[in-house]
Amino acid sequence: MALQVLFIGTAGSGKSSLTASFSDWASHEMGLRVGCINLDPGCVHLPYKPDFDVRELFTVASIMEAERLGPNGAMIRAAEYIEERSEEIVERLSKVEADLILIDTPSQMEIFVFRQAGPKVAEAMARSGRTVAVYILDPALAETATGLVVAATLQAATQLRLGTPTVLVLNKADLSAGRKLDRLLTDFSFLERSILREQLGASKGLALGFLRAIREVGGASRIVKVSAKTGEGMESLYDLIHEAFCVCGEL
């Protein structure tokens, strides 16, 4: 039975690029049969060859033309179509013969996660096999300690909405060098002290509260750095995905 991996993240975080890079790594380095799925009806080009493409059913452009909607309205309508046809989509997905299935989700994560499309698809996927979500953090948000808290909060919200184990990765590691960032990613006490030093005013307590709540419910979660461009961290991502199913504590 294939392991199913949903790539989630804000626009520009590198979902499609990471899908392609991780697929190449898992195929060549691990000898796995990998299937790639595109669930973004608004994309134009893909860096991988999809085994199933939601654009075979509908596209944002076709919805704009048929229903006389703007791009945002058409994207919302497309999310409704994904929700309505979630069982059909997952059935098509289940026919892909692979050990590992990578699902590239819509560019605007709120369209997928915070409407019913994502939860419906994730629920149907979970019935067909093990499913994990990878929340991709853009380094632009990781420049500050509070930025990491915001990312971890979005990860937690994604897990709550989709009902699947969700791990956090920092993409574009080739652009985010620095010992401070490494410490922020791995040292909770340093992250907490960094928040205290930031000029947040009344929001400081809010940031600390979120951080402590996330740590309390985070289980075995940790953050790894990857680069879809250079291939850095693919093995760590592979390990992290499997750790998501462990309930034995911090690994």
Position 249 in a domain: no
Report the distance separating Cα 88 and Cα 125, nearest Å. Answer: 11
> What is the per-residue pLDDT for 221?
61
| Domain annotation covers residue 184 | yes
Assigned domain for 121 exists: yes
The yes-or-no verdict on residue 250 having pLDDT over 50 is no
| Number of domains making up the chain | 1
Band the pLDDT of 133: cuts 50, 70, 90: very high
For 181, the enclosing helix (H) or strand (E) is helix 179-186
| Comparison of pLDDT for 144 and 85, the residue scoring more | 85
Within a domain: 251: no
Q: Where are the beta strands (DSSP E) in 19-99?
A: 34-38, 52-53
Token pair for 71: 């791009």
In a domain, 248, yes or no: no
Residue 228 above 70 pLDDT? yes
- 70 within a domain of the structure (yes/no): yes
The identity of residue 114, as a single letter, is F
DSSP for residue 138: P
User: Which CATH number does the domain housing residue 64 bear?
Assistant: 3.40.50.300
Domain that holds residue 167: 3-243
Range 6-18 average pLDDT: 94
pLDDT of residue 200: 74
CA distance 153 to 159: 10
**Across residues 73-100, what is the average pLDDT?**
94
- What pLDDT digit, counting tens, does each position of 177-223 carry? 556 677 787 788 888 888 888 877 777 888 888 888 877 765 446 78
